[in-house]
Amino acid sequence: MFWERPVENALSNLQKRVHAPVRLVLWDGREVSFDESPRVTLKLHGTRGASALMKPSLMSLAEAYIDGYADLEGDVREAIRSAEAISRGVPHRSLFEGALHHRSRHSRRDDREAIQHHYDVSNEFYGLWLDPRMVYSCAYFKSEGDTLEQAQLQKLDHICTKLQLQPGEKFLDIGCGWGALVMRAAEKFGVQATGITLSENQHRLANERIRAAGLQDRCRVELVDYRDLPGEGVFDKIASVGMFEHVGLANLPVYFGTVRRLLRERGLFLNHGITATNIENRPVGMGAGEFIGKYVFPKGELPHLHLAVKEMSAQKLEVRDVECLREHYAKTCAFWSDNFERRMPEAVAASNERIARIWRVYLAGCAYGFEQGWISIYQVLMSKQEEPGKTSLPLTREWMYR
């Protein structure tokens, strides 16, 4: 057939350049291995599966799998590692290739649709692989033996402690997920907590959980865009966890400006978010960023830490503490990926085969990406300082770790 020679040439070139523990099983029964002891098998079904090898990338290989033109046997994170090796088999391929972020406009409608695309798969779907509180953000591990549930609770308390939450204070969580942080802040730290989300599923379940815990007098979750919250100086403390990835680079001044407007003078703000590791804010190359943008996080844009700090500072938010949690997120995503692997049939039932395949690749890929340093994550603590003088914080940071 006319397509056989290009495929043969592609396989021959890859065998010369790639060393990875993966075996390819072709549609005619032939096998091609890139290692003497392969631990992963990728079965290709016909020409559509083979086309992923013509110009291999993390995007083309993932699409072959999620579209059913290839099947995967073996450890999925090992498969991601092998896919990277195959993608790097293309000469001169770099990790941060391609154009800069085009800085999408991120209208209210765009952001609502993007959030609902990602978070409104179903609450049951997320419940399969998250911890019981359904905390969908980087956990905080104090030891290698911590469980996911322990580490997520430690993360919630770490944030509340950094913010020095005090009884009676008004606390806002921007992008509150299923309400775990606002519930913990109200229950343990005694604040009046408000969470906001654009996900209808999250809004519904969060308020159900708040009522079940008897916290409705101190805690609520609203379905509202952060830009539409009214007032000035309304909150003593504000957190945003895993949300500013959705904001868009062009909207960072609006985002941090809204925080500045809503926060009282000398109030504290903690931003916990994923960042680019490329200083020009380029997305991860080899098709990884393209895959996430197309299938998982529409319109997601990651700023480098220096850009985030610049935009924070422009809004009179003085940076007081920066903590990198990259290894913590690699470990968190590995837990999620392992949970997903164990419950893959249930994930299919809660969504469909294609969505489950997308998320299988995505979670394993995130674990690998954070491990390798393709992306990072930081908690940045800020104080609103429009007037000269001291902050409300102690002179040292010992209080964070008592």
Please indicate, yes or no, whether residues 114 and 79 belong to a single structural domain of this protein: no
Tell me the catalytic residues: 366
Predicted structure pTM score = 0.91
pLDDT band per the 50, 70, 90 thresholds, residue 117: very low
pLDDT in tens, 266-308: 999 999 999 999 999 988 888 898 898 888 888 789 999 999 9
Please indicate, yes or no, whether residues 202 and 334 belong to a single structural domain of this protein: yes
Please indicate, yes or no, whether residues 299 and 340 belong to a single structural domain of this protein: yes
Please indicate, yes or no, whether residues 314 and 215 belong to a single structural domain of this protein: yes
What is the domain-level CATH number for residue 74?
Answer: 3.30.1050.10
pLDDT band per the 50, 70, 90 thresholds, residue 106: low
Q: Is residue 96 part of a domain?
A: no
pLDDT band per the 50, 70, 90 thresholds, residue 102: low
Please indicate, yes or no, whether residues 28 and 115 belong to a single structural domain of this protein: no
pLDDT band per the 50, 70, 90 thresholds, residue 1: very low
What total number of domains does the chain contain? 2
Q: Is residue 329 part of a domain?
A: yes
Q: Is residue 205 part of a domain?
A: yes
pLDDT score at 36 = 85
Per the structure, the complete domain to which residue 221 belongs is given by: 108-401
Please indicate, yes or no, whether residues 21 and 120 belong to a single structural domain of this protein: no
pLDDT in tens, 332-353: 999 999 999 999 999 999 999 9
- H/E/C letters for each residue in the chain? CCCHHHHHHHHHHHHHHCCCCEEEECCCCCEEECCCCCCEEEEECHHHHHHCCCCCCHHHHHHHHHCCCEEEEECHHHHHHHHHHHHCCCCCCCCCCCCCCCCCCCCHHHHHHHHHHHHCCCHHHHHCCCCCCCCCCCCCCCCCCCCHHHHHHHHHHHHHHHCCCCCCCEEEEECCCCCHHHHHHHHHHCCEEEEEECCHHHHHHHHHHHHHCCCCCCEEEEECCHHHCCCCCCEEEEEEECCHHHCCHHHHHHHHHHHHHHEEEEEEEEEEEEEECCCCCCCCCCCHHHHHHHHCCCCCCCCEHHHHHHHHHHCCEEEEEEEECHHHHHHHHHHHHHHHHHCHHHHHHHCCHHHHHHHHHHHHHHHHHHHHCCEEEEEEEEEECCCCCCCCCCCCCHHHHC
